[in-house]
């Protein structure tokens, strides 16, 4: 066990905005998940060096610090909050890896938490005394003509790549079907919160329902784009020394963070940005797409997931086989961390190597490669 390893990974269930987690603030979502990953690893909270938390909608205040305090971690744990919108959850894990690889820290809790239900109202102010102007989407570029609405950008991506509404609906149906199959197994990755032990949005999506779904714009409908949601997810990232010490007492495998990167691309087609990030991460890991046993690709829009799967050359049957964001929802700052947690648990079951990837507004893409090393698989447990 060398480098930086994930030795535990947990998440809350994901609930649509206004649903079962609507009363939870960011720290209420995060703290129980943080406590669960420490319990899984058998690690004392006094050993935690840092908490990195991705959050996109909370309007500051260092929610990582609030989460650390709410989880009962020592007051010396300062907390580091990051905002790279949808990419932030994976970025948090990559930051944890960098801290561990540099020798700065040995134990870092990294992930994300988002309450779409409790997000603050936002308004622009003006120096000339005009009334404040409410807004929903923050600017992601300095050029309004190259800063599209996300649904419109997804529709443009579909038109450019020839991905039809039917293709997108078929992907959405598959996502819900995979999630429904997965929900028949024990949900070891989920921490019960507010009575929720399963993702609340998963349903029996049919072609008939897809045809009837309200159109958002062009080929994008309420059926083939993810709903706004609440949730939290965290990974426990440690040095090889810590992983070796805990190996005998933990029931969870140690899975190595092999590589990962965040790259920028065309702001008008953000759905394509993860393709370049996936390809670079696989090159850095000396892996080909055919070497992977599983992949978790964010489904903010079905068209974006299809573009990434095809553009990166990933086999369709390894991508989101247990369902994706379309069957859960999209808790923006937490979504990348949820992918990392899902990938960890799939590799714990299947072994081998896998990739997680996500796109973000502004033309950003992040990818993360994990691998179950031989040393890391010495004490695996079958996880559902």
27 is catalytic: no
The pLDDT, as a whole number, for residue 252 is 84
pLDDT digits over 168-193, tens only? 999 999 999 999 999 998 889 999 99
Contact 243, 328 (CB under 8 A): no
Q: Does a structural domain hold residue 217?
A: no
Q: Does a structural domain hold residue 106?
A: yes
Does the pLDDT of residue 352 top 80, yes or no? yes
Does the pLDDT of residue 226 top 90, yes or no? yes
pLDDT digits over 363-374, tens only? 999 999 999 975
Total domains in the chain come to 1
The pLDDT, as a whole number, for residue 378 is 39
* Burial (CB count within 10 angstroms: exposed 0-12, middle 13-18, buried 19+), residue 162: exposed
What is the rounded CA–CA span in Å between residue 198 and residue 184? 10
Contact 354, 296 (CB under 8 A): yes
- pLDDT category at 349 given cuts 50, 70, 90 is very high
What is the rounded CA–CA span in Å between residue 6 and residue 339? 13
Does the pLDDT of residue 215 top 70, yes or no? yes
Q: Quote the mean pLDDT of the chain.
A: 94
pLDDT digits over 239-293, tens only? 999 999 998 777 789 999 999 999 999 999 999 999 999 999 999 999 999 999 9
Q: What is the number of helices (H) and of strands (E) in the chain?
A: 10, 15
Q: Does a structural domain hold residue 162?
A: no
Does the pLDDT of residue 377 top 50, yes or no? no
Sign of CA dihedral 295, 298, 299, 302: negative
The pLDDT, as a whole number, for residue 1 is 61
- Would strands 4-12 and 255-264 be described as parallel, antiparallel, or unpaired? antiparallel
Q: Does a structural domain hold residue 245?
A: yes
**What is the distance of C-alpha 288 from the center of its chain?**
23
The pLDDT, as a whole number, for residue 25 is 96
The pLDDT, as a whole number, for residue 374 is 56
SS3 of residue 353 by DSSP: strand
Contact 347, 370 (CB under 8 A): yes
Domain range spanning residue 281?
Answer: 4-119+226-371
* Average pLDDT, integer, range 207-233: 98
Q: Does a structural domain hold residue 169?
A: no
Q: Which CATH number covers residue 243? A: 3.40.47.10
* Average pLDDT, integer, range 128-143: 92
Residue 11 Cα distances to 110, 361, 380, angstroms: 12, 24, 19
The pLDDT, as a whole number, for residue 248 is 77
The pLDDT, as a whole number, for residue 384 is 30
For the chain, first and last CA: distance in Å? 24
Q: Does a structural domain hold residue 88?
A: yes
Contact 314, 289 (CB under 8 A): yes
HSE of 50, CA atoms in CB hemisphere, 13 A: 21
pLDDT digits over 307-331, tens only? 999 999 999 999 999 999 999 999 9
- pLDDT category at 142 given cuts 50, 70, 90 is very high
Rg from Cα positions in the chain = 20
Q: Catalytic pick from 105, 176, 330, 345?
A: 330
Q: Does a structural domain hold residue 94?
A: yes
Q: Does a structural domain hold residue 172?
A: no
What is the rounded CA–CA span in Å between residue 363 and residue 264? 6
The pLDDT, as a whole number, for residue 380 is 36
The pLDDT, as a whole number, for residue 192 is 97
pLDDT digits over 2-49, tens only? 799 999 999 999 999 999 999 999 999 999 999 999 999 999 999 999
86 is catalytic: yes
SS3 of residue 313 by DSSP: coil
What token pair was written down for 238?
């440690």
248: left (phi over 0), alpha (psi -120 to 50) or beta: alpha
Give the global pTM.
Answer: 0.95
Q: Spell 102-135 as b/e; 16+ CB within 10 A means b.
A: eeebbbbbbbbbbbbbbbeeeeeeeeeeeeeeee
Q: Catalytic pick from 86, 235, 294, 308?
A: 86
pLDDT digits over 150-174, tens only? 999 999 999 999 999 999 999 999 9
């Amino acid at each position: 066990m060398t480098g930086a390893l994930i030795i535990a990974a947990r998440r809350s269930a994901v609930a649509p905005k206004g649903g079962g987690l609507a009363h939870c603030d960011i720290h209420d979502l995060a703290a129980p998940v943080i406590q669960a990953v420490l319990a899984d690893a058998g690690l004392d909270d006094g050993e935690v060096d840092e908490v990195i938390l991705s959050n996109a909608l909370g309007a500051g205040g260092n929610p990582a610090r609030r989460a650390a305090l709410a989880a009962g971690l020592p007051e010396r744990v300062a907390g580091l909050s990051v905002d790279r919108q949808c990419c932030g959850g994976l970025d948090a894990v990559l930051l944890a890896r960098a801290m561990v690889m540099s020798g700065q820290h040995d134990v870092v809790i990294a992930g994300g938490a988002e309450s779409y239900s409790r997000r603050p109202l936002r308004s622009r102010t003006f120096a000339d005394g005009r009334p404040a102007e409410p807004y929903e989407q923050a600017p992601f570029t300095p050029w309004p003509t190259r800063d599209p609405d996300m649904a419109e950008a997804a529709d443009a991506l579909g038109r450019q790549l020839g991905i039809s509404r039917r293709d997108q609906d078929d992907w959405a149906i598959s996502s819900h079907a995979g999630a429904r199959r997965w929900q028949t197994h024990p949900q070891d990755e989920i921490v019960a919160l507010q009575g929720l032990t399963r993702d609340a949005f998963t349903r029996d999506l049919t072609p008939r329902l897809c045809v009837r779904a309200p159109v958002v714009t062009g080929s994008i409908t309420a059926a083939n784009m993810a709903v706004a949601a609440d949730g939290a997810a965290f990974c426990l990232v440690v040095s090889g020394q810590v992983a070796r010490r805990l190996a005998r007492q933990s029931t969870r495998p140690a899975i190595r963070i092999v590589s990962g990167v965040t790259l920028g691309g065309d702001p008008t087609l953000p759905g394509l940005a993860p393709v370049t990030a996936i390809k670079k991460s696989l090159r850095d890991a000396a892996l080909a797409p055919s070497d992977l046993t599983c992949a978790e690709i964010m489904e903010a829009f079905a068209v974006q997931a299809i573009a990434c799967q095809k553009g990166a050359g990933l086999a369709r049957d390894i991508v989101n086989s247990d369902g994706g964001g379309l069957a859960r929802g999209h808790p923006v700052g937490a979504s990348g961390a949820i992918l990392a947690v899902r990938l960890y648990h799939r590799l714990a079951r299947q072994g081998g190597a896998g990739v997680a990837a996500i796109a973000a507004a502004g033309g950003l893409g992040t990818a993360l490669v994990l691998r179950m090393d031989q040393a890391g698989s010495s004490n695996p447990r079958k996880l559902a």
